[in-house]
Amino acid sequence: MKKIYKAHILYTKEQNRFEVLENGYIVVEDGCVVDISTDLSALKCSDAEVTDFGNRLLIPAMNDLHVHAPQYRNQGIAMDLELLPWLQNYTFPEEMKYADTAYAERMYRRFVRDLWRFGTMRASVFATIHTESTRLLMHLFQEAGMGALVGKVGMDACCPPKLRESVEEMVKGYESLIMDDGQPTGNHQFPPLVQPIITPRFIPSCTPEMLRACGQLAAKYHLPVQSHLSENKDEIALVRELEPNSTCYGDAYNQYGLFGQTPTVMAHCVWTEGEELELMKRNGVVVAHCPTSNFNVASGMAPIRRFLDEGLHVGLGSDISGGHDLSIFQVMVYAIQVSKMYYQQNHECPFLTLSEAFWLATKSAGSFFGHVGSFEPGYEFDALVIDDSDLNHDNYTLLERLERYIYLGDDRQIVHRFCRGNEIAEPEVS
Ligand code: GUN
Ligand code: FE
């Protein structure tokens, strides 16, 4: 089924500049972009039905490369501690509640609905150790038609007993989620929209046996991996004690097959440098930059410009509830502001531009999910239609309109959301 959408289209094929199509057309077939132009008659399939969005903006949907669904209740509270005591005092007690699937359903429905609200159509998500509430979260994404990599969390150390699971239970739980996976999408050109991702929480909460089993699962089932890396100085010191045979934090993951052996995303990397940076480059490990979280739990400022100059692959994450804001548009603003503060303090590199922040949130982060995050032919059509008429009260250019939406807008201006070519309706909450 072919469709043509008409609107003012903005996207970032490249890091350094926006593509801007005033009154542009985009042809979508079987969930993918087939062609894009301002000239209707020059398009492939120009005979398909046109949906005209008028004076609205059409942009790629947002991707969240790092978020904790079971920390949703804690969003916007408990910001007075650094990482390790923050986990023990606020985060672990909340995550324990997810043994109860009724509680999980109530919270997870709100979480998925609010991702939808803010235009995030793909997310790489941490759940908890609990297999049944993780399965439920996967089903909620499937029901919504939104894309997600969902991680049942591996934990068996340095946490309350109720958040520990034996290695055998962890493997059994994962295998049951993997067997569940592969819901029929009706279209086999694509992988399933929702898939498990191997998720050891971080080195301190896993025994070597747990880490080894996670690496083996990733290899056996060709699954991606997510975790946390070099976020906080006390955490890094603890990892040095726990893994004395590794040369750096990243090397500890690497020794267990959890550092790029399959597609891997590591959140934070605030203090990554030297050998760890080289290893990430060599292994193609992706950075999930979470600037709001890095501020809130006082972790530090990640040197994103340096990472980009070194050729590292970077995306943005909300990291709820270390981060307080689920909107990736707001995370873009914080990423730019953090880079400006970093620049002032270090004078070693220019700060991030708007096109770079937008590219990080769309094409760069989207590539962790496939051909996602751009409107080039062959990309999956994940898109948002923005009605900024309430913000557009003067003769702003299209780029100024997008910039104002990023800085000033919210969910009220998002009037249509598409994932893999389908318009996504508001998910139900209970
Ligand atoms: N490191 C280990 N677990 C967590 C978590 O839940 N949030 C953050 N920000 N860092 C972590
Ligand atoms: Fe996190």
Query: In CATH, what number is assigned to the domain containing residue 388?
Result: 2.30.40.10
Q: Are residues 112 and 168 in the same domain?
A: yes
In a domain, 429, yes or no: no
In a domain, 226, yes or no: yes
Q: Which of 64, 81, 87 to mutate to test the pocket of ligand 1 (most atoms within 8 A of CB)?
A: 87
- The number of angstroms, rounded, from the C-alpha of 85 to the middle of its chain's C-alpha atoms is 25
Give the pTM: 0.97
Q: Which of 95, 202, 289 to mutate to test the pocket of ligand 1 (most atoms within 8 A of CB)?
A: 202
Q: Are residues 216 and 341 in the same domain?
A: yes
Query: In CATH, what number is assigned to the domain containing residue 235?
Result: 3.20.20.140
Find the 86 Cα to ligand 1 centroid distance in Å: 9
Q: Are residues 289 and 243 in the same domain?
A: yes
In a domain, 428, yes or no: no
Which candidate, 430, 422, 416, 427, places its Cα nearest to that of 143?
Answer: 427
Range of the domain at 182: 62-369
Find the 141 Cα to ligand 2 centroid distance in Å: 20
Asked whether 426 and 147 are in contact (CB, 8 A), the reply is no
In a domain, 98, yes or no: yes
Find the 241 Cα to ligand 2 centroid distance in Å: 22
Q: What is the mean pLDDT of the chain?
A: 96
Q: Are residues 56 and 75 in the same domain?
A: no
Q: Are residues 120 and 30 in the same domain?
A: no
User: Which spans in 56-144 are helix H?
Assistant: 83-86, 92-96, 101-117, 131-144
Asked whether 271 and 230 are in contact (CB, 8 A), the reply is yes
Residue whose Cα lies nearest atom 11 of ligand 1: it is: 228
Q: Are residues 231 and 128 in the same domain?
A: yes
From the CA of 228, give the closest atom in ligand 1.
1
Q: Is 56 in the pocket of ligand 1 (CB under 6 A)?
A: no
**176 cis-preceded (ω within 30 degrees of 0):** no
Q: Are residues 27 and 149 in the same domain?
A: no
| Protein residues with C-beta less than 5 angstroms from the ion ligand 2 | 267, 319
| Confidence band for 181, pLDDT divided at 50, 70 and 90 | low
> Total structural domains in the chain?
2
| Confidence band for 188, pLDDT divided at 50, 70 and 90 | low
From the CA of 202, give the closest atom in ligand 1.
2
Q: Is 295 in the pocket of ligand 1 (CB under 6 A)?
A: no
Q: Is 66 in the pocket of ligand 1 (CB under 6 A)?
A: no
Find the 132 Cα to ligand 1 centroid distance in Å: 22
Is residue 204 classed exposed, middle or buried when 0-12, 13-18 and 19+ CB atoms within 10 A define those classes? Answer: buried
Q: Are residues 209 and 259 in the same domain?
A: yes
Q: Are residues 269 and 409 in the same domain?
A: no
In a domain, 261, yes or no: yes
Instruction: State residue 185's pLDDT score.
Output: 45
Find the 205 Cα to ligand 2 centroid distance in Å: 13
Q: Are residues 314 and 243 in the same domain?
A: yes
In a domain, 402, yes or no: yes
Find the 67 Cα to ligand 2 centroid distance in Å: 6
In a domain, 430, yes or no: no
Taking only the tens place, the pLDDT of each residue in 115-143 is 999 999 999 999 999 999 999 999 999 99
Q: Flag whether pLDDT at 47 surpasses 50.
A: yes
Give the separation between CA 144 and CA 122, rounded to whole angstroms. Answer: 11
Q: Flag whether pLDDT at 184 surpasses 50.
A: no
Q: Mean pLDDT over residues 147-165, rounded? A: 97
Q: Are residues 72 and 139 in the same domain?
A: yes
In a domain, 355, yes or no: yes
Ligand nearest to the CA of 87: 1
Residue whose Cα lies nearest atom 3 of ligand 1: it is: 201
Find the 230 Cα to ligand 2 centroid distance in Å: 11
Q: Are residues 328 and 257 in the same domain?
A: yes
Domain limit, last residue, from 353, 369, 385: 369
Instruction: State residue 183's pLDDT score.
Output: 45
